[in-house]
Structure 1
């Protein structure tokens, strides 16, 4: 059992080290030597777990996809206030992108021109946002004059932009930026409750 636990830990360390490398240098410029060194294992141990850098990239993406699935696990149909759920979940995602290098690298691979796989976590996030806004529309919480696809694009871009700017400007807080975005956006997309 100890051998299995060690193998699982080694695999996780390799995924994390690959994520750090991909996040810092991009997929093409990351080397297997750098990744194995970052995980504290030999190149033989790396090749025991992963046949190629592409296999490592796919493992990073799969791990990130599981993390995203956990973030969006509460389906909007099961939440009493879909728009509030959208706001809260966007903040959770922004915070996790800031803290979790594997999640961030998984999202980053979608924007990496040298990564040839078709999995895109941004498409998954965008689809979840669309589903949540559709639930809000069904429950009359979303203003009827708001085109859902416009709102989906704005929310997706806000989360992407807040995360990207936060990486390159230490004074830029993704959390603050999203709060400002929602302060501006929420009154525009929320259905007005008639007063009696």
Structure 2
């Protein structure tokens, strides 16, 4: 059992160190030697768990997807609108991107043209936003002149843009940046009766 636990810990350490390296250097430049050294294991131990750099990148993406699902899977507070839930989860995603290197690296890897897209985190996020906006439309939460496709484009485009820009300047992922964006978006998106109820800064959920 101790040997199995040690193997699990080694694998988790390798994924974390790989994420840090991919986030810092990108997939193409990152080397397995750098990753194994950072993890404190030999190259042989690394290859025991992962056959190649591509396999290690796939593992980072897989863990990142689990963490993204955890962000989008949080239930909205009772009585909360779908639009408020969208606001809250958008804040949750950018907050996690700011603090979670594995999630941030997973997004970066899924958009890296140097490797095949295996786990499309950005596509998963877009799909989730589309579902929530569709629920908002069904409940009459959108402004009559707001196009659902435009709402999805604005939210997904902005958050992915924050993710990319945040790699160089963390302020793009800070709550105040997201709040300012939502303060501009919500008046044209939300139905009149909802505008005063939705908190652009999120509810803290």
TM-score by length of 2: 0.88
Match in the other structure for 1:147: 147
Deviation at 1:69, TM superposition (A): 0.6
Match in the other structure for 2:28: 28
Match in the other structure for 2:87: 87
Match in the other structure for 1:100: 100
Unpaired segments ≥5 residues, structure 2: 195-205
- 1:73 maps onto 2:83 in alignment: no
Match in the other structure for 1:57: 57
Match in the other structure for 1:2: 2
Distance 2:79 2:128 in 1: 13
TM-score by length of 1: 0.92
Distance 1:172 1:135 in 2: 28
Match in the other structure for 1:137: 137
Q: Are residues 142 and 110 of structure 1, via their aligned partners in 2, closer, same or farther at CA, if it must alter by over 3 Å? A: same
2:62–2:119 Cα contact (<8 Å) kept: no
Q: Are residues 79 and 163 of structure 1, via their aligned partners in 2, closer, same or farther at CA, if it must alter by over 3 Å? A: farther
Distance 2:85 2:53 in 1: 37
**CA RMSD after TM alignment:** 1.8
Deviation at 1:14, TM superposition (A): 0.5
1:163–1:174 Cα contact (<8 Å) kept: no
Unpaired segments ≥5 residues, structure 1: none
Deviation at 1:172, TM superposition (A): 4.6
Match in the other structure for 2:110: 110
Distance 2:146 2:60 in 1: 36
Deviation at 1:165, TM superposition (A): 2.7
Distance 2:61 2:25 in 1: 16
Q: Are residues 68 and 49 of structure 1, via their aligned partners in 2, closer, same or farther at CA, if it must alter by over 3 Å? A: same
The 3-state SS of whatever aligns with 2:37 is: helix
Deviation at 1:79, TM superposition (A): 7.1
The 3-state SS of whatever aligns with 2:192 is: coil
* More contact order relative to length (CA 8 Å, sep ≥ 6): 2
2:20–2:101 Cα contact (<8 Å) kept: yes
Distance 1:39 1:151 in 2: 42
Distance 1:102 1:108 in 2: 10
